[in-house]
């Protein structure tokens, strides 16, 4: 990128315009998600459970599932290479082998698989926000891999740990529905995580980590505004996950936060979408994404159908259907994380700058 002085002297390039607009859209979507969630969430328990599942259900076609359905395109695009059948086969093979192995693990050890799912989500949602902080918010202080690692744990920990502290019963309920698809007795193995002592320890430890990470960023930043955005997002998400019932909160966050940011990222490595964004043609850019994502969004429905047939207990209620969806998402997320991590490396996100 151009140094600041040169930036002012020359007119903004099309790519820079596209990036600025994409960053604006992702921040606006994030802010909307938090405000919307807090507004309807504080009415809390009065929202019927089936409705709380609505954003998660919508994520099958809106933003959520589609955000990963362009995984076969992102690596060649980020390298400026054509999408060859070899590249497609590599991503397909990765999904089959890694996703297949994890799917098998759910049948053998569902409680372990659930714990892994929480850890996997923490890492993945955290890595997504490290990208956003570095490339969309333009923070200057995430220079070392260690500092980025701290940011990853904070940002990924917010959706996975705050609900554990604030809503242990709903957390345990959802855990029980996922594990229960395979073995109703196995959920007992997770009970320890919901004990008050564990939750207090998580609250104190994670709270201290958030405070320390924000303080370190404040000390190292050379401009106040990006740090204020980081701190505002961090505290906003803390309030969001502490106050909004978690099934609703996770559904809103998955679509309006994580997926929007990742979709924006995929647009910025697609030359035609960048040109459309630079022209102010957001509709054209989004249309391209929708076309790219449609085939494999539909394809992933096969995974859910196969799971529905294979699980020992056929899901019959809304929570059970959602549990089946989440297990499918878990299985698809492991290879998705491999692709996104390779994209991180390709874009030099984790190298010290």
Of 172-211, binders to ligand RET (CB under 6 A) are: 174-175
Q: Please tell me whether residue 329 binds ligand RET under the rule CB under 6 A.
A: yes
Q: Please tell me whether residue 37 binds ligand RET under the rule CB under 6 A.
A: no
Q: Please tell me whether residue 227 binds ligand RET under the rule CB under 6 A.
A: no
Q: Please tell me whether residue 170 binds ligand RET under the rule CB under 6 A.
A: yes
Q: Please tell me whether residue 106 binds ligand RET under the rule CB under 6 A.
A: no
Q: Binding site membership for Fe cation: which residues?
A: 67, 124, 258, 262
Instruction: Locate 299 and state its tokens.
Output: 């394809």
Q: Please tell me whether residue 297 binds ligand RET under the rule CB under 6 A.
A: no
Buried b (16+ CB within 10 A) or exposed e, 16-43: ebbbebbbebbbebbeebbeebbebbee
Reported as half-sphere exposure (CB side, CA atoms, 13 A), residue 171 has a value of 23
The C-alpha atoms of residue 71 and residue 87 are separated, in whole angstroms, by: 11
Span from 24-32, 149-157, 171-179, 267-275 in contact with ligand RET (CB under 6 A):
171-179
Q: Please tell me whether residue 171 binds ligand RET under the rule CB under 6 A.
A: yes
Of positions 210, 250, 263, 264, contacts ligand RET by CB under 6 A: 250
Count residues contacting ligand RET (CB under 6 A)? 18
Span from 18-26, 75-83, 245-253, 271-279 in contact with ligand RET (CB under 6 A):
245-253
Of positions 131, 141, 254, 257, contacts ligand RET by CB under 6 A: 254
The C-alpha atoms of residue 283 and residue 289 are separated, in whole angstroms, by: 10
The C-alpha atoms of residue 304 and residue 270 are separated, in whole angstroms, by: 29
Of positions 246, 256, 315, 335, contacts ligand RET by CB under 6 A: 246
Report yes or no: 50 and 253 within 8 Å, Cβ to Cβ: no
Nearest Cα to Cα of residue 71 among 337, 344, 324, 351: 337
CA 261 to chain CA mean position, Å: 8
> Residues in the site for ligand RET, rule: CB under 6 A?
117-118, 121, 124, 160, 163, 170-171, 174-175, 246-247, 250, 254, 258, 326, 329, 333
């Amino acid at each position: 990128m151009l140094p600041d002085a040169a930036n002012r002297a020359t007119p903004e390039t099309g790519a820079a315009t596209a990036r600025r607009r994409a960053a604006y859209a992702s921040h606006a979507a994030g802010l909307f998600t938090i405000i919307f969630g807090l507004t309807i969430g504080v009415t809390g328990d009065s929202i019927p459970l089936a409705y709380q599942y609505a954003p998660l259900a919508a994520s099958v076609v809106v933003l959520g599932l589609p955000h990963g359905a362009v995984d076969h395109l992102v690596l060649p695009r980020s390298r400026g290479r054509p999408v060859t059948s070899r590249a497609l086969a590599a991503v397909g093979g990765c999904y089959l082998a890694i996703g297949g192995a994890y799917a098998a693990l759910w049948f053998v050890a569902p409680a372990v698989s659930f714990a892994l799912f929480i850890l996997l989500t923490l890492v993945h949602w955290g890595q997504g926000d490290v990208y956003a902080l570095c490339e969309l918010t333009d923070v200057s202080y995430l220079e070392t891999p260690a500092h980025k690692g701290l940011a990853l744990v904070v940002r990924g920990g917010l959706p996975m740990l705050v609900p554990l502290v604030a809503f242990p019963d709903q957390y345990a309920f959802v855990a029980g529905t996922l594990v229960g698809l395979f073995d109703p007795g196995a959920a007992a193995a997770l009970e320890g995580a919901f004990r008050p002592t564990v939750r207090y320890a998580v609250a104190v430890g994670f709270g201290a980590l958030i405070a320390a990470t924000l303080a370190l960023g404040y000390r190292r930043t050379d401009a106040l505004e990006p740090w204020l955005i980081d701190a505002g997002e961090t505290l906003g998400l803390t309030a969001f996950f502490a106050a909004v019932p978690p099934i609703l909160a996770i559904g809103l966050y998955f679509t309006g936060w994580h997926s929007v940011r990742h979709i924006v990222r995929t647009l910025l490595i697609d030359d035609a979408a960048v040109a459309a964004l630079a022209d102010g043609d957001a509709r054209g850019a989004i249309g391209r994404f929708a076309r790219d994502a449609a085939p494999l969004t539909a394809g992933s429905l096969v995974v859910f159908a196969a799971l529905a047939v294979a699980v020992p207990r056929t899901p019959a209620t809304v929570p059970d259907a959602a549990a089946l969806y989440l297990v499918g998402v878990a299985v698809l997320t492991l290879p998705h994380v491999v692709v996104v991590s390779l994209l991180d490396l390709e874009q030099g996100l984790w190298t010290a700058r």
